[in-house]
């Protein structure tokens, strides 16, 4: 079934979801490595999508005046490695609940000396270095080319940066993310090349998540937490190569800060603002 066919039946599909689950949400939070919980006193919904089940049941609760849906992208037990995450199901499930805005939290490695462990980065561009084939909802027979020139919502991202500054969190207002296939980490040569190109941070999950959110016309903001220096930088500074334990340790020490950031951001999030994310499909179909 093509996405166009799915969208023709989307309202029906959404109504079926609503009938089975009375829960809805406006804001979606996708948690990264080490970020498996957010909401207290939350209900849980299990959603089946045209692309299978999402990575975990979705928690739905209230923050301030907003109904919020939370989903850990790797699953509750981190059972999905980056190249096996059900990205389509994750985004479709959130969309079917009525989510129009997604705030993504992700761990990342630094490719530049001035971006240090524990820093936050508001991502504004990505470089896709993956080989994933199933990275679009549009697989024919209709052909659709969305623009990802500016894949992240500028309004939501700008508000996220302002919120971090008010909270005193060291944050970079923009950054280019290199997305690698995974699950292995980069070689020294790969990492050194990324650094020489002037790119800022690196992870394994930024694509296709951002592009899929764009195809669903969702406002998408991604906040990266720097957990390590990538191989090219660590070698120059005579540091040991990155390990998963290091990533989880640094991310774990910043989870409470990230949780407070997300909560504060949702409290100040206006009900309406002007952006073009909800028109991403306009003029994109041949």
Task: Please tell me the predicted confidence (pLDDT) of residue 231.
Answer: 85
Beta strands 120-122 and 219-229, pairing class = antiparallel
Domain spans of the chain, in order of start: 3-279
Q: Is the pLDDT of residue 221 over 90?
A: yes
**Over residues 173-191, mean pLDDT:** 95
**Over residues 47-55, mean pLDDT:** 96
- The contacts of residue 45 (CB under 8 Å, 6+ apart) are 21, 23, 57, 58, 60, 97
Burial level of 141, CB count in 10 A (0-12/13-18/19+)?
Answer: exposed
Of the two residues 156 and 34, the one the predictor is more confident about is: 156
Task: Please tell me the predicted confidence (pLDDT) of residue 3.
Answer: 46
Task: Please tell me the predicted confidence (pLDDT) of residue 20.
Answer: 54
**Over residues 137-158, mean pLDDT:** 94
Which residues are the active-site residues? 228, 230
Q: Is the pLDDT of residue 4 over 70?
A: no
Q: Is the pLDDT of residue 237 over 70?
A: no
> Does domain 3-279 match CATH 1.10.10.920?
no
Average pLDDT, the chain: 88
What is the spatial distance between Cα 144 and Cα 220, in angstroms, rounded to a whole number? 20
pLDDT, tens digit, for every residue of 241-255? 777 777 778 777 888
Both structure tokens of 78: 């981190």
């Amino acid at each position: 079934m093509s996405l166009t066919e799915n969208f023709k039946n989307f309202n029906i599909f959404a109504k079926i979801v609503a009938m089975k689950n009375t829960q809805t949400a406006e804001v979606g939070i996708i948690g990264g490595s080490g970020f498996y919980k957010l909401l207290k006193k939350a209900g849980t919904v299990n959603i089946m999508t045209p692309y299978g089940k999402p990575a975990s049941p979705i928690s739905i609760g209230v923050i301030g005046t907003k109904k919020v849906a939370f989903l850990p992208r790797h699953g509750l037990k981190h059972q999905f490695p980056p190249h096996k995450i059900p990205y389509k199901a994750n985004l479709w499930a959130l969309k079917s609940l009525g989510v129009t805005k997604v705030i993504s939290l992700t761990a990342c490695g630094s490719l530049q000396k001035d971006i240090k462990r524990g820093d936050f980065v508001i991502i504004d561009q990505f470089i896709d270095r993956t080989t994933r084939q199933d990275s679009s909802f549009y697989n024919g027979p209709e052909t659709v080319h969305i623009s990802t020139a500016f894949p992240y919502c500028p309004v939501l991202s700008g508000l996220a940066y302002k919120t971090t500054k008010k909270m005193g969190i060291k944050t970079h207002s923009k950054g280019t993310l290199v997305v690698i296939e995974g699950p292995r980490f980069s070689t020294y040569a790969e990492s050194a090349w990324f650094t020489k190109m002037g790119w800022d941070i690196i992870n394994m999950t930024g694509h296709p998540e951002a592009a899929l959110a764009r195809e669903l016309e969702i406002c998408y903001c991604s906040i990266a937490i720097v957990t390590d220096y990538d191989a090219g930088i660590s070698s120059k500074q005579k540091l040991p190569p990155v390990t998963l334990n290091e990533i989880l340790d640094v991310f774990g020490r910043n989870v409470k800060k990230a949780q407070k950031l997300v909560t504060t951001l949702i409290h100040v999030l206006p009900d309406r603002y002007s952006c073009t994310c909800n028109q991403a499909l306009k003029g994109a179909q041949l």
